[in-house]
Amino acid sequence: MGDRHEQKLRLRYEETDTMGVVYYAKFFIWMEVGRVALLRDVGFGYKEWVRHEMEFPVVQAHADYNSSARFDDEILVKTRIASIGNSSMRFENEIYKLPEKTLLATGHTVHVLTLKGGKKMTFSPELKSKLTSS
């Protein structure tokens, strides 16, 4: 839909496994960091969700791994909204090791918009417009 949001991160020691490389599940945390930053930048940050008593649970998560990273590497997480349905959104991510921009992984998550408590709801036209302009 829109341009990719970019977020740089420095890898912490706790993100590595016993082999000295980043533990695979940490990539999903980085996807979340990118997603939350993108939503905040378009004016639909976590405080807005809470204020409107909305939740945004993950219903699907996928990653393809290409290369590894290690403690203290700098990475770039690129996130974009790939599609918006009536009540769901798909975010796509690319994660690169800097400075050479080696592609570490690609992935996506799908989220469903719900009211607090889990009842599915549809995007309002205003919110959908805000998100599609990102």
The mean pLDDT of 110-128, rounded to a whole number, is 92
Rounded to the nearest integer, the mean pLDDT of the chain is 93
Domain coordinates in residue numbering, the chain: 5-132
Greater model confidence, 134 or 113:
113
DSSP 101: T
Q: Please state, in angstroms and rounded to a whole number, the distance separating the CA atoms of residues 79 and 108.
A: 9
- Please indicate, yes or no, whether the overall pTM of this predicted structure exceeds 0.85: yes
Please name the amino acid found at residue 104.
Answer: L
In sequence order, the 6+-apart residues with CB closer than 8 A to the CB of 43 are 130
Q: Please state, in angstroms and rounded to a whole number, the distance separating the CA atoms of residues 29 and 75.
A: 13
pLDDT, tens digit, for every residue of 43-86?
Answer: 888 888 888 899 999 999 999 999 999 999 999 999 999 999 99
Please, how many CA atoms are within 13 Å of residue 10, restricted to the half-sphere of its CB? Answer: 1
Instruction: Decide if 56 contacts 127 (C-beta within 8 A).
Output: no
Instruction: State yes or no: pLDDT of 1 exceeds 80.
Output: no
Q: Please state, in angstroms and rounded to a whole number, the distance separating the CA atoms of residues 50 and 72.
A: 34
Kind of pairing between the strands at 102-112 and 5-10: unpaired
In sequence order, the 6+-apart residues with CB closer than 8 A to the CB of 2 are 80, 81, 132, 133, 134
Q: For domain 5-132, give the CATH number.
A: 3.10.129.10
